[in-house]
Amino acid sequence: MELEPLSVKTAAKWFKRIIWPQIKRRSRELLPKLRARSKRAKRVDVGDGKSKIIRRRLYLTDYYAEFRNAFLSLVRSSTTGTSKAKLQR
Amino acid sequence: MTKKQKKRHGSIRVPGGSSLAASQFVAAAFADIEHIASKSTAVRLKCRWNLHSQLADIISGLFRLASQKKNRVAARWATEELVSITVSCTNCLRQIATRKQPNTSERESAGAGLALVYARLGKYDSELTKRNPAYCKRKSALTKQRKDVVANTGLIATTVRDELNKACKYRAELLALRRLHIGTKWRVIPDTDDRTQREKPAGKARRWVPPLSVSKEYKVTHGTGATVS
């Protein structure tokens, strides 16, 4: 990949090529934490007025959009806006 | 204008006693300092010193009043007075410091004073944030920081921020390496150290370290057949 500087234009590319592989490398550490905060559950009627909660198994790719949105908003807020809203690194 | 109206306009009557007429003293002192032609240097210096001591006395008195625990109302009033003095002083200094004039001594001193205030507040910022919730709340409201975007403390936001910082660091390092014309292809450099040629002792030790004292029992044979003790 060309070493383009990070900007709003190149943020999507940066995420796809650089940030996401790095996050994937940390999946063992991150997945349990992400699963713990997940609300993806479905209540199913079993019968006799009883219900059961079914949870689907989650993978890191389920959170791809959330990570991407967070990254893009971070870049947007760090490169544009007032000086007070700049990213404090 | 009637007599009553004149009285009201001139001074504010406070129930409970007469004022100390401090305003007259202050006005006279300022007039003395300002008029260079009418007053001598010694008089002007004395007036300046008097005003300075009065101001210092007022501030120290307010602080004493704000620190005491007997009269809560007075303490609150004193604190509010200190706040108003600080805010107005900072505003005045800012106006002096940002004047469109070439660098004058008053502008320089105002700038230096503001820098001092900024640095001191910055030093105690974290402590104030921890201990005083009003400071924290007011500060965030005034600076209008969008915490959800800038400093979101969620897992996803922090992860993304960490990875971005890491990526930026890697990129800077890689650019520096490219500038030095160092390629990314790694090659193995043959190790010429004697230790690799020695026989490693059996065991589960990860790293083999030679014994500190080499006795006669410990002998290492080189490829040539010579024995070294």
Name the pLDDT band for A22 (thresholds 50, 70, 90): very high
Percentage of chain A beyond pLDDT 70 is 84
Q: Is B214 an 8 Å CB contact of chain A?
A: no
Q: Specify the pLDDT at position B48.
A: 83
Q: Is B69 an 8 Å CB contact of chain A?
A: no
pTM: 0.40
- For chain B, the domains span 21-98, 102-144, 145-181
Q: Do A67 and B145 touch (CB under 8 A)?
A: no
Q: For residue A19, what is the nearest residue in chain B, using CA coordinates?
A: B163
Say how far apart CA B111 and CA B14 lie, in whole Å.
39
The pLDDT of A61-75, averaged and rounded, is: 90
Does position A82 have pLDDT exceeding 50, yes or no? Answer: no
Half-sphere exposure of B148 (CA within 13 A, CB side): 1
Best A1, A7, A13, A18 member to test B by mutation, with max B CBs in 10 Å, is A18
Q: Specify the pLDDT at position B220.
A: 47
Under 8 Å between Cβ of A77 and B150: yes
Q: For residue A60, what is the nearest residue in chain B, using CA coordinates?
A: B156
Reduced 3-state DSSP string for chain B: CCHHHHHHHHCCCCCCCCCCCHHHHHHHHHHHHHCCCCCCHHHHHHHHHHHHHHHHHHHHHHHHHHHCCCCHHHHHHHHHHHHHHHHHHHHHHHHHHCCCCCCCHHHHHHHHHHHHHHHHHHHCHHHHHHHCHHHHHHHHHHHCCCCCCCCCCCHHHHHHHHHHHHHHHHHHHHHHHHHCCCCCCCCCCCCCCHHHHCCCCCCCCCCCCCCCCCCCCCCEECCCCCEEC
Q: For residue B143, what is the nearest residue in chain A, using CA coordinates?
A: A84
Does position A29 have pLDDT exceeding 80, yes or no? Answer: yes
Q: For residue B176, what is the nearest residue in chain A, using CA coordinates?
A: A3
∠ CA A32-A89-B161, nearest 5°, is: 25
Give, for all 229 residues of chain B, the pLDDT tens digit.
Answer: 455 555 554 555 556 555 555 667 777 777 777 776 666 778 778 888 888 888 888 888 999 989 888 888 888 999 999 999 998 999 898 888 888 877 788 888 888 999 998 898 888 888 888 888 888 888 877 776 555 555 677 889 889 988 988 888 888 888 877 777 666 565 566 665 555 555 555 555 455 555 555 444 444 444 444 444 3
Distance from CA of B211 to the nearest CA of A (A): 40
- Say if the ipTM goes beyond 0.85: no
> Nearest by CB to A19, which of B145, B157, B163?
B163
> Nearest by CB to B171, which of A3, A33, A75?
A3
A21-36 burial, b if ≥16 CB within 10 A, otherwise e?
ebbeeeeeebeeebee
Q: Do A85 and B151 touch (CB under 8 A)?
A: no
Query: Which of A41-45, A68-72, B137-141 holds the top average pLDDT?
Result: A68-72
